[in-house]
Chains A and B, each alone.
Chain A
């Protein structure tokens, strides 16, 4: 206990706190910029940590990671430009709120649920790592395939008004995810049409920059009005927001749980967590219809979930020595560069470091909450800027974002193409979010299914038996079935309603 106390004292020194706050602010900025995301932010500041002590360096990077979890929602809510997939669901609910003059309110929900989610994820990591890692190891290819299918089933919740257009969008996303070198075989190319540039595949970032940011800016530039929001802004306090969030405690708790579990699973991340918990929030809500028009549950769920995934993604890193997400992979690298081997041994050989990291991450959440709450009045002023300034600025940052993921000019071209395609889709009323969902989940679904095929053949059983006849699979299958059933029901219901209206 003395040991913990000593760490607490050493953590509360001005330099550490300033570095964490700096990291969090960079994280919020990076998260808010279309195309930039956690891995890029952490990689950018990685060289800065060489001159710091490992504790300070790592906590600064942790601050960036935590900050990006919230930052994405700023541009998602205010400009309908979610940085990457993480804030796609937040945009669905947050932007309609912003258009009603309630942007500030939406941002408060976002920062508060992000902070609560972040805390839950970290506390789960601190207290339950040994247990959680046992759960994670139970997830083989069959279970991962079902998790991916659960994610895809969520598409029913983000279809928009027309199911056929929504299904077209998700199918397009899946198709885009298939382009390029077949990751499960050597030297097999798919859908490249002879273009060398397509061989490495189409990554998520240029696609999301194009479909979200560029499309939105092009649409905005055709807007007659000088401003994004024409209605008067409504004032809102952080305490009112807190009260409203705690009224939705059940959604919050569920989303934190989903976020933590998804975060632990290898190869997943905040984006999948936020999609699944958004889908679950919509499924369990009494009034499905208010989703898509600014339902606050639709902000609380994805935002708490994606920050809860951060704590989750550290679990395999600390317990097994393998990173759980793209961002934690770079932090893993940072530890190695400082001569520390992440994994169970860290607690024996560098216990001080390990516990400082765990407790310090809690500080990053507190710093994020403070920076976010103080920053929101400032962020929400973005809506007062004339669109003639916003459009070019966001477009420039979008190009930088598209380029920086792979430092590749081709990605900028891809983003521009997707941007124009997106404008056309908007005219045709094809929803964008399902495309991104398809791109995120396509590879995970396919690869795990193909792993199941090989494993089932090796064990001499039918692949259907292999996937479904497992204890965890049964739970997941029920979950998937319930999501699909509810979506189907609400679709039929919606159809009937429109029919009645027409009559």
Chain B
């Protein structure tokens, strides 16, 4: 009786396998005519993943083919990028590249297994940035100037929480430009960083702007956002640049990439599709619900920002090699 069931299991497995193989055989019809894989270099449920799932759901409707998110977490997105760079150049493997993390990784590690040139940068749809939030009852005042003054008077005494290498770079850049010394503490993910801030275990946090509103309800004050200019969802919060500190632009943009050599036809199709589906009010409303700022960029305007960020990050890493350069 059981061997019969076992047969069923084996047949079932074979059928699934053959279906998978069948799905792999691409024809020469108009792009796209089969499932598109969309790599995300982070776990399901995180910010990048949510953005990817919202986007692919819309792309599916427009392209008429399914568009599946494949999570490839690890090494701040580098696993996903590496695998993407080495995958088939047929337009059926795309992915999100988080610019800041990737540029930091590229500049700190000489050998990531792939180069920035191995990828095709199609377009980007968002820019998200961080906020500097102080805990409840922080003695160092209510504004960013007060905070800098307090930090200058108490070198090394201010505990600043962060949860990403990009934020670590920003802290380093801020310390240098403002002439202060902070004690950075790294957490796993923004949630834990936020927890520590609410519990008063750290004095200040560099954390995603989405936490700003909920932190305010708990008595925490947002001092600044860490980008060149103010952002739409927090119009009353000043940008760090307004205080005259020329720190690295900490904005994070997720760029849709494909392996280099992907047919131009496919790249154009993806870019146009993404532009079309993201331009709708409904989609932008969804973006603002997940606290993302919409901004479509492609071609020159995309690469200009990308290269500028790369130069800024390179400068920080080169000036602090022992802190940031890779060692075994």
Contacts and interface: CB of A to CB of B under 8 A. Distances in A.
Interface string B63-83: 000000011111100110010
Given A39-B44, A320-B195, A458-B183, A189 B9 contact: no
B319 to A, nearest CB: 14
Interface in A114-138: 136-138
B199 A137 contact: yes
A322 B2 contact: no
A189 B328 contact: yes
Contacts of B169: 186
B264 interface: no
Contact of B184 (A138, A188, A321, A454): A454
Contacts of A137: 195, 198-200
Contacts of B194: 320, 322
A457 B183 CA distance: 8
Contacts of A373: none
A333 B199 contact: no
Interface in A336-358: 336-337, 339, 341, 343-345
B74 A408 contact: yes
Nearest to A321: B214
B192 interface: yes
A189 B327 contact: yes
A140 B186 contact: no
B191 interface: yes
Q: Which of A141, A454, A458, A460 has the most CB of B within 10 A?
A: A458
B165 interface: yes
Contacts of B79: 200, 406, 408
Given A187-B325, A200-B74, A141 B50 contact: no
Nearest to A194: B328
B158 A181 contact: no
A139 B109 contact: no
Nearest to A196: B113
B192 A266 contact: yes
6 contacts: A39-B44, A137-B195, A181-B75, A189-B327, A329-B191, A451-B186
Interface of B: 2-3, 6, 9, 13, 43-46, 49-50, 53-54, 57, 70-75, 78-79, 82, 104-105, 108-109, 111-113, 156-159, 165, 168-169, 183-188, 190-192, 194-196, 198-202, 214, 217, 286, 289-290, 323-328
9 tightest CB-CB pairs across the interface, nearest first? A333-B45, A322-B191, A200-B74, A187-B108, A330-B45, A140-B201, A43-B44, A458-B183, A137-B199
Given A42-B44, A196-B113, A331-B45, 14 more contacts: A140-B196, A141-B185, A184-B186, A186-B108, A186-B168, A322-B195, A329-B46, A330-B43, A343-B214, A393-B6, A447-B188, A454-B183, A457-B156, A458-B183
